[in-house]
Structure 1
Amino acid sequence: MKLRYVVQLITCTILISNHWSGAAEPVTRPPRQSVEVVESRSGIVVSETDEASAAACKILTQGGNAVDAAVTTAFVLAVTWPEAGNLGGGGFMMIAPPGDDVVCVDYRETAPASVSANSFVNWTDRHHARMAGVPGTVAGLATAHERYGTLPWKQLVIPAVQLARDGVEVDEFLAWSLNSYLTRARVRTDPQFAEFRRVYGHPDGRHWRVGDRLVQPDLASTLELIAEQGASAFYEGAIASRLLQEMKRSEGLISREDLKSYEALIKPAVSGRFRGYTIYGAPPPSSGGLTVILEMQMVETLKLTPTSEEFWTADQVHLLSEVMRRAFRERAAHLGDLPMTRELHNKFSRARAHELASTIDRETATSSKSIADKIAITEGPYESPQTTHFSVIDANGMAVSNTYTLEESYGSRIVVAGAGFLLNNEMGDFNWYPGYTNTEGTIGTEPNEMAPGKRMLSSQSPTIVKQGEKVRLVTGSPGGRTIINTVYEILVQTLAFERPLPEAVDGWRFHHQWYPDVIRLESLDEADVKHIAEELESRGHNVRLSADYRQGSAHSISVDVETDMATGVADWRRGGAARRAETVQTVP
């Protein structure tokens, strides 16, 4: 490295560090807001940003269907919600075509061919190009469109191109998101994040403020190539070349052959019955579908009933948490990138749900260690809560539930130089330490060990519920392992308690994941749940109560199957926008 370059780099780092010291302008979370609710029979899109929901609704009014609108939503979110909207990540898209089977487009990232089960045993840097799995988002959206879309591909991508080129007006949630990461010490100073700072930092070196405009010309050029050339531009063309240059520069693992061989898969949804409804979820390597269904079928055995006095009662939280504890143990023991064999179905069957529910003490907490069975527990990684979910329904009743992610907020924080998009850090979702499971939540079970071309286990839980042949509910959430329980709680409230969807989305949530052996309570007002926390502790639970804890962002749609009126609800926790298509044009 030339001395002149080193001096320039050090000088730039010092200037950026000074600009982003954060001392003068503290970064504060936007205050709580109300959920946003819309109703329509012509189609609804509920996503993290107004631009994404509005652009997708325009696609619906132009005669596009729910999959067309979902493709536009996903590409626009890559521009307007960069912490999780993405080109360089992956996810799962549930599709319910009218009169046909519900399917899942699995576009989860894959491990590069060069890895083995022990490749990351001594690795510590989770924000490095080596953490990137082979991205699946562009292939997944293209696969969904090829099978189910109606409008031309280019028409669906161009709205994102225009927003990236012309700029996005920064609102309070985007300002908070950008500033929260630009002010982090390592992001401010580490040379490997120089492109991140260039792309996402304010041109004047200050905090982003409401009303500023985020312009992303490199991303606009990348999206334009995708609009013109399709997914091949990303996996074999000019974009692939830039990604591979980044791998070489940043010591990543993805090869040209890894990109060329990536394939998004269309799979049958997993499903289960609950009180006259059919719940459809994503199959492995998503753990969400099977785990949510297992939880709901345990609830059916427990015969929980709603109350009018409180949003949740201590009895309900106790029983629902005991269900979570058991379901997450089954998740850890059995799930990974595995085929849906009869044996795996049996491990998550209604009979198994009833067997697990029968072990719950209705008054006293169970020790997580006591249900470990053959999983050896060491007294003592983590899945980031930064994902994004959106829900779509069109005038014909076709529904899409899509969750996708970069893993942590802004993924690896490595921006592909000149291409304007972030690389994921999904390799962290594999079990890095074969055979090692501890009380802090590190899991080392065999099904999710790392292997070439394997898809890492995910908690993403895009969910569609049908009542008869009609869609009744479309939901999902970000939130790492909390995703499963956010969706579970939405389903319990709407299907078991018959609580209106706006109320179910608005209220406080809680989470237990087997290990660590803790119930975490979302406290919108600490006094709301303090008495419940005390009663849970008296029953033997470990409880964590924090006013700063926010669980998920469950942008959802419910449908009255008698009138076909759909209600879209945007969660308030990270912003969000519910928009409706007022008039639908006929496709020529």
Structure 2
Amino acid sequence: MSMMDRSGAKMLGAMALFTSITLSGAANVRAEAILEGDRSVPVEARNGMVVTSHYLATDEALRVLEEGGNAIDAAVTAAFALAVTQPRSGNIGGGGFMLVSSEESGEVNAIDYRETAPAAASRDMYLDENGEVVTDRSRFTHKAAGVPGTVAGLALALDKYGTISLKEALAPAIKLADEGFVIPPRFAQGIESQAERLKQFESSRTVFFKQDGSLYQAGELFVQKDLAATLKRIAEQGVKGFYEGETADLIVAEMQRGGGLTTHEDLKNYQPVIRKPVHGNYRGYDIYSMSPPSSGGTHIVQILNILEGFPISDSGLNSAKTIHLMAEAMKRAYADRSEYLGDTDFVDVPLKGLTSTDYAASLRQQIDPEQATPSVEIKPGNPAPYESNETTHFSIVDKYGNAVSNTYTINFSYGSHIVVDGAGFLLNNEMDDFSAKPGVPNAYGLIGGEANKIEPNKRMLSSMSPTIVKKEGKNFIVTGSPGGSRIITTTLQVLMNVIDHNLNIQAAVNAPRIHHQWVPDEIRIEQGISPDTIKLLEGMGHTVVQKTAMGAIQSIMVGEDGTFYGGADPRRSTSSAKGY
């Protein structure tokens, strides 16, 4: 099957696509996905494509492309817009990772703007007098916050690869915060679901509730004057407008008020890092994904290496055999994650060994094609010597051959739930991503070890997996997802759905997902996996549990003729794919 068949409307019976088409200039046609009806066929465009988790951010980023900006310009614009329109996950109080691919230079670079532990952080800071983990201390207190990296990371991306100024990139976000935007149902439902915890903090009550304490409703205007003022300081003063001066004073005052650790010195010293992404090859496609302190790229490549030795396409999409093989590979990768992954500025990670095809072959030999291996029998392997649920991701490509895959977060939905008084943004609770106590699961059930212990100025381990796939030097797939520990497997399955199962990008995004993370020893599935398949998996020795939807992956595929195909994830109601 050709790439055009895979990405265009020929797949799945050429089902109808619900799109809105409007003229944008004499020669440009804007294509827009609407989250209603059948969405098996992707949006397509020729000049640029933006896929984000919020339609207002998509609008602003696409406008940048239409006015001649590149994918990096649009990405930074989208990121700041999401910080206004989607405060539960979009952020300036958190951090993340960005992959930038240039067909002209042939390079794929990674920007690490993950949060860091404050200088006063210590290994046992979340343990009680008996040495046991106090869970809420690393999640819903001022001590849960790492030093934010988003503003510095976005500024670096723009300075290094963009063409517009930081002030220009911030202008749409400032307007959305200053003048407000109409609340969609998802926004109102999110505040209502977290109302009890948000109301514990006066600064959060001021932002997220009306003066009488009542909830905002869908269709009402949401204005954020304090956040607008914070963004204006960044626009006027650059990075110093966040990490020094008035905003820094507000952050430190909030920390002192709640017993947090971040100081003026922590903020002033924060620096994003340009890193080399993890690189692998799967069935002739070059896979680029995030390197440590993310575990995502390492284990996506590791799992693909294991699975390349099996005829996945022959067993079929979401068959019992395919799911069994994926789950067995996932178990072994997550076992290794618990032992080896951490911030490479602090620990040696056997990255070459974990991503080698020889090591994958040795793990593949352990897999019984007919029977599950109990997790208790799987231990971290021996590679050659020397990684939020409410994260958000967006993917952007432009007519110049640039692609951006960006994932950033404040960890939980609404992070720590604490707004910086007077600054209008939420503090992250990323410190929970460290191993508070080696061997004890974090909020996502992930086991961590010594490599991810808390240390001053260290970056905590992540599962965020912004990913770019290239074919013969050309950008092919740009993708990534939120979902905490499920980010890795969500991203993995979209790649396999395209490469192994020949789905178009929208069908690949829509398909039901599965997940196994070694501990607990269960295959988690979404709705849509057949009862017969579940019975076959249980007969192989698997425990299968159906839970809520996993991830919200925003993806783009580039056809052989240069056409862009956007696939927005219907699991998030505000998701939006638009191109021109």
2:328 to 319, 322, 326: 322
2:493 to 471, 489, 495: 489
Q: CA deviation at 1:579?
A: 4.3
1:213-268 CA-partner distances (Å, limit 9, x unpaired)? 11111111111111111111111121111000101111111011111110000111
Q: What's 1:166 paired with? A: 179
Residue 428 of structure 2 aligns to a residue whose secondary structure is coil
Residues 34 and 572 in structure 1, CA contact (< 8 A), matched pair in contact too: no
1:67-108 CA-partner distances (Å, limit 9, x unpaired)? 100000000000111100000000000000223210100000
Mapped to 2, the partners of 1:66 and 1:492 lie a distance apart of 25
Whether 1:96 aligns to 2:97 is no
Q: What's 2:404 paired with? A: 400
Mapped to 1, the partners of 2:391 and 2:50 lie a distance apart of 18
Q: What's 2:7 paired with? A: none
User: What is the root-mean-square deviation in Å for CA atoms of aligned residues?
Assistant: 2.1
1:462-513 CA-partner distances (Å, limit 9, x unpaired)? 0000001110000000000100000010011111222111111112111100
AA partner of residue 124 (structure 1): T
AA partner of residue 113 (structure 1): A
After the TM superposition, which residues 403-418 of structure 1 pair with which residues of structure 2 at under 5 Å, given as runs? 403-418=407-422
Whether 1:66 aligns to 2:65 is no
2:111 to 86, 105, 118: 105
Percentage identity across aligned positions?
44
Q: What's 1:423 paired with? A: 427
Residues 439 and 515 in structure 1, CA contact (< 8 A), matched pair in contact too: no
Instruction: Calculate the TM-score normalised by the size of structure 2.
Output: 0.88
Q: What's 2:506 paired with? A: 502
After the TM superposition, which residues 82-481 of structure 1 pair with which residues of structure 2 at under 5 Å, given as runs? 82-100=87-105, 101-122=107-128, 123-125=134-136, 126-182=139-195, 184=196, 186-188=197-199, 190=200, 193-203=201-211, 205-306=213-314, 311-338=317-344, 343-372=350-379, 384-434=388-438, 441-481=445-485
1:360-393 CA-partner distances (Å, limit 9, x unpaired)? 1111111111112589xxxxxxx93110000000
Change over 3 Å in CA distance of 1:551–1:455 after alignment to 2: same
Mapped to 2, the partners of 1:575 and 1:494 lie a distance apart of 23
Instruction: Calculate the TM-score normalised by the size of structure 1.
Output: 0.87
Q: What's 1:551 paired with? A: 550
Residue 242 of structure 1 aligns to a residue whose secondary structure is helix
Unaligned runs of at least 5 residues, structure 2: 1-34, 129-133
Q: CA deviation at 1:431?
A: 0.4
Residues 533 and 543 in structure 1, CA contact (< 8 A), matched pair in contact too: yes
Change over 3 Å in CA distance of 1:301–1:307 after alignment to 2: closer
Residues 84 and 388 in structure 1, CA contact (< 8 A), matched pair in contact too: yes
Residues 32 and 573 in structure 1, CA contact (< 8 A), matched pair in contact too: no
Change over 3 Å in CA distance of 1:33–1:428 after alignment to 2: farther
Q: CA deviation at 1:545?
A: 1.5
AA partner of residue 141 (structure 1): L
Q: CA deviation at 1:176?
A: 1.7
AA partner of residue 532 (structure 2): H
Q: CA deviation at 1:529?
A: 2.8
Q: What's 2:17 paired with? A: none
Mapped to 1, the partners of 2:566 and 2:144 lie a distance apart of 36
Q: CA deviation at 1:202?
A: 3.8
Residues 395 and 556 in structure 2, CA contact (< 8 A), matched pair in contact too: yes
AA partner of residue 566 (structure 2): G
Corresponding pairs, count = 532
Residue 426 of structure 2 aligns to a residue whose secondary structure is coil
Unaligned runs of at least 5 residues, structure 1: 1-30, 376-382, 583-588
Mapped to 2, the partners of 1:531 and 1:202 lie a distance apart of 50
Change over 3 Å in CA distance of 1:203–1:581 after alignment to 2: farther
Q: CA deviation at 1:204?
A: 5.4
Residue 302 of structure 1 aligns to a residue whose secondary structure is coil
Mapped to 1, the partners of 2:360 and 2:562 lie a distance apart of 33
Q: What's 1:3 paired with? A: none
Residues 320 and 533 in structure 2, CA contact (< 8 A), matched pair in contact too: yes
Residues 511 and 519 in structure 1, CA contact (< 8 A), matched pair in contact too: yes
- Higher mean C-alpha displacement, 401-410 vs 114-123: 114-123
